[in-house]
Amino acid sequence: MENKEVFITNTIQLWTSADVVHIEAVGYSPNESIYIEWDANALVRDLPSLYTLCKQAIEQGEDSLKEKLKDFVNEIKNDLE
């Protein structure tokens, strides 16, 4: 089985049927779209880990932005000296 890698930027639709969560999402371009049928029980079991990972990823992104801004400010200070 070949894996398809897609960077998801937006969830378009979420709906359910018996024991299934349906997720339709898109990436940066229209050809980067995906439809997933997820076992509802498996998804619920993964929620605590998904929540923790999301918080961690957001924090890492914020830390990265802070470092870039600090470097930018230092570069401006050096240019003004």
- What pLDDT, on a 0 to 100 scale, did the predictor assign at position 33? 85
First to last CA, the chain: 59
- What pLDDT, on a 0 to 100 scale, did the predictor assign at position 57? 93
- What pLDDT, on a 0 to 100 scale, did the predictor assign at position 31? 80
- What pLDDT, on a 0 to 100 scale, did the predictor assign at position 60? 92
Length of the chain: 81
- Phi, psi for residue 10 in degrees, rounded to 5: -150, 140
Q: What is the pLDDT along the chain (81 residues), one digit of tens a residue?
A: 788 778 889 999 999 999 999 999 998 877 888 899 999 999 999 999 999 999 999 999 998 888 888 889 998 988 888
Domain residue extents for the chain: 10-80
